[in-house]
Chains A and B, each alone.
Chain A
């Protein structure tokens, strides 16, 4: 178990370094110099040259990468080109909003999804099952941003229960978190249902039933627990999905978070911020995948990777 964890941790390093290289390279292939956004029209070319030297954009690309990587390991992610601020400072400022949104919607999607999936599996081929699966199918098919718009239209514009946009208090978190959570719950419900139905057909469940254990106990102790294994793999995958979804949800609800910062910086070609935000988000996805893999190996004793 410990060996496996260490092995996975070591394997993460080259992937992360490659990711950082790709992020760095890709953004330097973007046409247009970010300095141009800073200059007032009609300013002398010397000012432009000076800015380029100031930001180190005149050096060869591999030197820029090494300097950038060195600085990151020292906790310095550079200086935002458009907002006069340290990138790490800027990211830390926006991080809590995104973390709150991510954690709450993650919980909503898993609790709702697992409950719905389990209920559908137990009441297979009844109206409950059909209802649950229609919901799940819609959850997979509805674009997240449209769901956000509709929730906003119903609960903010018509009913006036929640603020249309903004951040800070809990009330403003409800709609964005439910948007992401509901959209994510569909897939989890489907996986839970399929996995529970598959386990229920296994011979060992028939043995357990033959021993005379009550139905509730069979479902909770034997079927549900074994059905959790594929759901655990989803944990890691969904984290990446939620981070991607946070970009659109934050834009729809005008929430200042990492996703919106990233999208805005992409428009403004603010390299240091894009690189910093991407690196942070991808690191989060990789850690999520790692945790899911370890949990997976822990939950299923048959799995021991070498």
Chain B
């Protein structure tokens, strides 16, 4: 008893003290006093708060800048790339990086820098389209499963469990093997491999929102199922999915590179980063730059999406598994 009482007293002391002990808080408080921030205007608008939080999150801003640069590179490839991505120049094959060829040349004498610049377009295309499709499938199946429940829900849960058991690389490899290796089949394969995670996410969100009071009020006001689902539930459930999709785009780009590396993706002379790496592997000993730079480009891109996704998750204060 005595121990407990003293523990609770100590707890309060600790809590009280901890505000003083925390180095970070001290710094903030001093600043606040200096700037008279106690009377600072606190915006009521939710979007404005989000924007202010976003401005403070350096990682998210770095991520956003990387993605914007990537989009710029992808859109204006023709103007940025010094050479053509398909023009072969055999006398100049496997040259090391030089002022003329910044990242060297590959086994056909093509400029690796230019190919990476054009490759940004392909990575972006694959990332955006495949993630868009899988988010769409996920939202439709997840929300139907959660909202209607019952037998339909059971069937969809089993379907999601089955899909969940397949490792994504294997699943997309099989799908590409069925429909044939090309960039479009890679997009379809990635979309069909990744929708389950979005479906599970949106299902959980809607399940927890479904019993909220405002939904009951809406229903008693006479709204029908589709109005409730599309107008009242989804807009509130969709933000975690959008954050997951930002992270998912990074994954999709890696998966595209992996499939192309395995020879199951974009076919030559398409300058996909993955297929460039696949060729680079063959010439790893004599021309290591052809394996290094496309990989670095992939990493920076994926890093951009991961940084932005992480930042958005922190800003929106969303708890997500994995």
Q: Which A residues fall within an 8 A CB radius of B?
A: 14-15, 18-19, 22, 26-27, 29-31, 125, 137-138, 140-146, 149-150, 152-153, 157, 187, 191, 203, 206-207, 209-212, 230, 233-234, 237, 240-241, 243-245, 247-248, 251-252, 262-263, 266-267, 269, 274, 278, 281-282, 285-286, 289
Residue in B166, B168, B173, B284 whose beta carbon sits within 8 Å of that of A263 in the complex? B173
Name B287-320 residues within 8 Å CB distance of A. Answer: 288, 291-292, 295, 298-299, 302-303, 306-307, 310
- A237–B285 Cα gap in the complex (Å)? 36
Q: Is the CB of B298 within 8 A of A146?
A: yes
* B173 CB contacts on chain A under 8 angstroms: 247, 262-263, 266
Q: Is the CB of A244 within 8 A of B169?
A: yes
Main secondary structure of the interface of A (DSSP, over half): helix
Residue in A150, A207, A244, A267 whose beta carbon sits within 8 Å of that of B168 in the complex? A244
Q: Is the CB of B298 within 8 A of A241?
A: no
* B14 CB contacts on chain A under 8 angstroms: 206, 209-210
State how many angstroms separate the Cβ of B34 from the closest Cβ of chain A: 22
Question: With an 8 A cutoff between CB atoms, is B33 at the interface?
Answer: no
- A197–B54 Cα gap in the complex (Å)? 22
Q: Is the CB of B174 within 8 A of A266?
A: yes
Q: Which B residues fall within an 8 A CB radius of A?
A: 3, 6-11, 13-15, 24, 158, 161-162, 165-170, 173-174, 177-178, 180, 250, 254, 257-258, 261-262, 277, 280-281, 284-285, 288, 291-292, 295, 298-299, 302-303, 306-307, 310, 321-322
Q: Is the CB of A30 within 8 A of B177?
A: yes
30 contacts between A and B (CB under 8 A): A15-B162, A18-B162, A30-B178, A137-B307, A140-B302, A140-B306, A141-B302, A142-B302, A143-B258, A143-B261, A143-B298, A143-B302, A145-B258, A145-B261, A146-B257, A146-B298, A149-B280, A149-B281, A210-B9, A211-B3, A211-B10, A212-B10, A240-B167, A241-B167, A247-B170, A248-B262, A263-B173, A266-B173, A274-B174, A281-B170
- A247–B173 Cα gap in the complex (Å)? 10
* B166 CB contacts on chain A under 8 angstroms: 19, 240, 282, 285
- A267–B177 Cα gap in the complex (Å)? 7
Closest to A30 in B: B178
Main secondary structure of the interface of B (DSSP, over half): helix
* A245 CB contacts on chain B under 8 angstroms: 169
- A153–B24 Cα gap in the complex (Å)? 43
* B168 CB contacts on chain A under 8 angstroms: 244
State how many angstroms separate the Cβ of A1 from the closest Cβ of chain B: 22
